Amino acid sequence: MDCTFPFSSATQRLLQLDEEQLDEQKYSRHIRSRYHHSERSLSPVSQGCQNSRLEPLECRDLLVQNALFTGDLEMVRKYFTKSAAINLVIETKGDELRWTSRKFGLWSLNYEQELTTPLHITASRGYTDCLRLLLLRGAAVNFAPGGKTALHEACAAPSTECVRLLLSFGADPEAVSEDGYKPLHLCKSPDSIECVQQLLQHGASVNSRTEEEDDTALHIAARHGLTDHVQLLLRYGAELEAKNEEGQTPLNAACAQPHQPQDMDRYYRVCQLLVESGASINAADRDCQHPLHLACKNANAQVAELLLARGANVNVMNYSGNTALHNILQATAYKLEHHPELVVRALLNYGAIRIWPGSLLKVWGSQLCWEHGGKGRL
């Protein structure tokens, strides 16, 4: 049963103060456990540090934060002098929501709090001049209070100039984020191609894996339909037959990724490049799904034609007993814009079995049912 109790204004203020103190204690423990430094609060930056200006300190100064988030070089230069603290820790709201219980036992949906630094903020927004200033002031290039480095942020943005600058100051191209990603794994957009180039030139491992999905950079590039990335990665020795956690090769990953009609050509070019480089057209994943099964699920007639022309087994079954023809027929209703009839035609032209022997009696029974007015039962 729900119960409510009246609180005086004084009592409510005491509860609020208790809550604030608990939050401060929680934050202090969090900072100490992650950086092994005693927690201090820095409100303007110009106060500096007692021990070292390079020691990470907490920053809550909104003027400093505003200068960083807007890329105001003059204000950044004003706050981050040669004697000022550089490796500040700033708490921000992340992109993901989570349930938290903080006020009087009530659950609420709030944005997850994340820890960042001036270096991360400027790198993620492409503020190259501000980033250079911070690096010249001695900012720790591989500092990762929120679980990822500034190089991760620059690659995800993507900002080629920031990536180049960070690497020139010694950023680790093999740094692993808290989520198990290296900077190369975060290059997922077409305009991140030069970031990939820079990382590979500075020693990033082309076949490194993500910790959870076990993807290589080639899996990720193929999945996002990035032809230039695929070509570059292959030139640096990316493994064509590497399998991820789901047993997918990069070709499987490209064929499996749902895409819009306007992206069909892009995915065709990726698959064409992989196949011409020697990728196995009959590589099966954990569910015995072959590239042809997956391409038919996505109703990409160009990819299906490519695989069939290269000798893909048109009648091979997956773990559920479905062939490529089953998959396209099941997908037809919600893939009309992809012209699924072209996929069906290609499969039939290459010898897809129209009726499986085990289904023959059902088909005959269905025909008899309709001939007798549709009232019979199978």
pTM: 0.78
List average pLDDT for each run of 10 residues in the chain, which is 378 residues long. 42 46 45 38 35 69 96 97 92 67 60 86 98 97 96 98 98 97 98 98 98 97 98 98 98 97 97 98 96 98 98 95 94 95 97 68 45 44
As a whole number of angstroms, the distance between CA 58 and CA 49 comes to 11
Q: In what order do the strands lie in the sheet with 57-59?
A: 41-42, 57-59, 88-103, 106-116
Bridge-partner residues for 100, per DSSP? Answer: 108
The Cα angle at residue 337 between residues 335 and 342, in degrees rounded to 5: 80
Bridge-partner residues for 58, per DSSP? Answer: 41, 89
Task: Classify 8 in phi/psi space as left (phi over 0), alpha (psi -120 to 50) or beta.
Answer: beta
Half-sphere exposure of 80 (CA within 13 A, CB side): 28
How much is the pLDDT for 105? 62
How much is the pLDDT for 294? 98
How much is the pLDDT for 372? 53
How much is the pLDDT for 134? 98
As a whole number of angstroms, the distance between CA 127 and CA 257 comes to 33
Domains of the chain: 22-98+111-171 (1.25.40.20), 227-378 (1.25.40.20)
- Map residue 61 onto helix, strand or coil: coil
How much is the pLDDT for 99? 63
In sequence order, which ranges of the chain are alpha helices (DSSP H)? 9-35, 62-70, 73-79, 118-124, 128-136, 150-156, 160-168, 193-201, 217-223, 227-235, 250-256, 264-276, 291-297, 301-309, 324-331, 340-349, 360-371
- Map residue 123 onto helix, strand or coil: helix
As a whole number of angstroms, the distance between CA 150 and CA 132 comes to 12
Residues 6+ away with beta carbon under 8 Å from 178: 144, 146, 147, 148
How much is the pLDDT for 56? 74
How much is the pLDDT for 98? 57
Find out whether 181 and 210 touch, Cβ atoms under 8 Å. Answer: yes
What's the start-to-end Cα distance of the chain, in Å? 55
